[in-house]
Chains A and B, each alone.
Chain A
Amino acid sequence: MGFISDAFHNIRNRPSLILIGFLSIFFTQLIVNIFIFGYLEMEKMGKFSGESFTIKAYFQSGVDDEKAQETIEKLRNLPDVSTIVLVSKEEAQKKFLEYFEMAPEDFPLDENPFPLSVEIIPKRVESIPDLADQLKNTGLFDDVIYGGKNVDVFVKFYHVLLSVGSIILFLVFIFSLIVIINLIRISIQSRKEEIRIFHLIGATETFIRRPIIAEGFFEGLFAGISAFLLSTLVFYFLLDFLHAAFPFFPWIDLTDILAPLLVVDTFMGGVIGILGSIISCNSVLKEVLR
Chain B
Amino acid sequence: MAFIGFDKVYKIYPSGVKALQNISFSIEEGEFVFLVGPTGAGKTTLMKLINREELPTSGDIWFDDIRINHLDDGYLPFLRRNLGIIFQDLKLIPSRTVYENLIFPLQIMGIKKNTISKISTRILAMLEMENRKHHLVEWLSGGEKQKLCLGRALIHQPQLVLADEPTGNLDHYSAYEMVETLYLYCREEKASVIVSTHNIGLLKSFSGRILQLDQGRLVTDHYNYSKVRSETGLEYR
Instruction: Please give the residue numbers on chain A whose beta carbons come within 8 Å of chain B beta carbons, in ascending order.
Output: 2, 9, 13, 193-194, 196-204, 207
Residues of B within 8 A of A13 (CB): 95
- Asked if residues B93 and A203 are in contact (CB atoms below 8 Å), the reply is no
Chain A proximity mask over B50-69: 1 for CB below 8 Å, otherwise 0 = 01010000000000000000
Q: Which of A2, A200, A207 lies in contact with B51, CB distance below 8 A?
A: A200
A279–chain B nearest beta-carbon distance, Å: 21
In the complex, which residues of chain B have a beta carbon less than 8 angstroms from the beta carbon of A196? 91
Q: Are B105 and A201 in contact (CB under 8 A)?
A: yes
**Which chain A residues lie closer than 8 Å to B93 at the CB level?**
193-194, 197
Chain B 91-108 interface 0/1 with A at a Cβ cutoff of 8 Å (1 = within): 111011000000011011
A201-B80 contact, Cβ under 8 Å, with A2-B107, A207-B108? yes
Instruction: Find out whether the CB atom of B108 lies under 8 angstroms from the CB atom of A198.
Output: yes
Q: Kindly supply a per-residue 1/0 record for chain B positions 78-95, scoring 1 wherever the CB is within 8 Å of any chain A CB and 0 otherwise.
A: 111101010100011101
Query: Which of chain B's residues has its CB closest to A289's CB?
Result: B73
Interface of B is mostly: mixed
- Contact indicator A202/B91 (Cβ below 8 Å): no
- Taking a contact as CB atoms under 8 Å apart, the answer to whether A203 and B77 are in contact is yes
* Given A9-B96, A197-B92, A202-B80: 11 more A-B contacts, CB < 8 Å: A193-B91, A194-B93, A198-B104, A200-B85, A201-B105, A201-B108, A201-B152, A202-B79, A202-B81, A204-B77, A204-B108
A2 to B152, CA, bound (A): 18
Q: Which of B95, B108, B109 gathers most chain A CB within 10 Å?
A: B108
CA distance A2 to B91 in the complex (A): 21
- Nearest-CB residue, chain B, relative to A199: B77
Q: CA of A200 to CA of B81 in the docked complex: distance in angstroms?
A: 9
Q: Which of A200, A203, A207 contacts B91 (CB 8 A)?
A: A200
One of A9, A194, A200, A202 near B109 (C-beta < 8 A): A202
Chain B residues with Cβ under 8 A from A200's Cβ? 51, 53, 80, 85, 87, 91
* Across-interface contacts of A204 in B (CB, < 8 A): 77, 108
Q: Are A202 and B95 in contact (CB under 8 A)?
A: no
Taking a contact as CB atoms under 8 Å apart, the answer to whether B78 and A202 are in contact is yes
5 contacts between A and B (CB under 8 A): A2-B107, A199-B77, A202-B77, A203-B108, A207-B108
Q: How far is the CA of A197 from the CA of B105 in the complex (A)?
A: 11
| Chain A residues with CB under 8 A of B79 | 202
In whole Å, how far is B212's beta carbon from the nearest beta carbon of chain A?
26
A225 to B93, CA, bound (A): 33
B116 nearest in chain A by CB position: A2
- CB-CB under 8 A from A194, the residues of chain B are 93, 95
Q: Chain B residue with minimal CB distance to A1?
A: B113
Chain A residues contacting B81 (CB-CB under 8 Å) are 202
Closest to B48 in A: A200
CB-based contact A201/B95 at 8 Å:
no
Question: Shortest distance in angstroms between A208's beta carbon and chain B's nearest beta carbon?
Answer: 10
State the CA gap A197–B85 with chains docked (Å): 11
A contact residues around B85 at 8 Å (CB):
200-201
In the complex, what distance in Å separates the CA atom of A156 from the CA atom of B132? 70
Bound state CA distance, A200 and B53, in angstroms? Answer: 8
Contacts of A193 in B (CB 8 A): 91, 93
Q: Which residue of B lies closest to A194 (CB)?
A: B93
Cα–Cα distance between A13 and B95 once the two chains are bound (Å): 8
Shortest CB–CB separation between residue B225 and chain A, in angstroms? 35
Q: How far is the CB of B112 from chain A (nearest CB, A)?
A: 11
Alpha-carbon gap, A11 to B76, bound state (A): 29
Question: Which residue of chain A is the closest to B110 with respect to CB atoms?
Answer: A207
Q: Smallest Cβ distance from B53 to chain A, in angstroms? A: 7
